[in-house]
Amino acid sequence: MTDGETGRVFRLAYVPGVTPAKWVNIWTERMPDVPVTLVAVPAAEVVGLLRNGGADAGFARLPVDRDGLSVIPLYVETTVVVVPKDHAVAAVDEVAIADLIDDEVFHPLDDTIEWTVRPGLPAFTRPATTADAVELVAAGTGILLVPQSLARLYHRRDLTYRPVLDAPQSQVALTWPTDATTDLVEDFIGVVRGRTVNSSRGRAPASPAEKPARRQAQKPAQNGSGRRAVPAGRKRKGYRSR
């Protein structure tokens, strides 16, 4: 950490369903003088927050408008269908989109799954958020398809979920403003990518002064005339003993 970073805070945004704890724990071990401030933000607002300087980096769900942003895709989530526990889907381990053809499916405004054709029948309303849609599912007015982490986040005892094998999937990515790629952002990228503290991409490389010394030590010894010295026990060519 440079002197200019003393007293700084790294601001990390994250959307619902993403759990940044494992990366934050590694950061805290490596950068104890730079605390992390976590900023929970709705999926539809994370890009605006980053562009307005409200966070240094953030975990978002793809796709996002990448204009001016750098993006590192991280992992893909299974898509599941959320249903009441007495729904027919609850009796099986997994389903296909074709199995939902007769169900009314909610499409919340904050949905981040890219659908070519949405499954099932359109529900009577478009909820503002996934959380609102879950409440409507619990009321028995339709079902919902979401990334598995959101099904876990909004879990209720009267609901269950099952994987939808052929549904599009949601991908989580780390993103930040390209023109604000600071040393701290680079450090966090290293944490997310699993680099070690001594990685060549880290900020504490070996001192350049050490390398020439190692190369010099590997050069063959020379005599005063500038010629290479002959190792002990080896005879010079042209001088055979008789």
**Amino acid at position 216, single letter:** Q
Is pLDDT of 241 > 60? no
**Amino acid at position 201, single letter:** R
Average pLDDT over residues 186-206: 73
Is pLDDT of 196 > 90? no
**In sequence order, what DSSP letters do the residues of 211-223 get, joined into one string?**
HHHHHHHTSPPB-
pTM for the complete prediction? 0.77
3-state secondary structure of 167: coil
Confidence at 199, pLDDT banded by 50, 70, 90: low
Torsion angles phi and psi, residue 148, rounded to 5 = -55, -35
- Per-residue pLDDT reduced to its tens digit, 98-149: 999 999 999 999 998 999 999 999 999 999 999 999 999 999 999 999 999 9
d(CA 213, CA 75): 44
CB 17 within 8 A of CB 149: yes
- Per-residue pLDDT reduced to its tens digit, 14-65: 999 999 999 999 999 999 999 999 999 999 999 999 999 999 999 999 999 9
Average pLDDT over residues 158-178: 97
d(CA 87, CA 149): 21
Residue 186: closest CA among 80, 20, 34: 34
Q: Where are the alpha helices (DSSP H) in the chain?
A: 21-30, 46-51, 130-138, 148-153, 183-192, 210-217
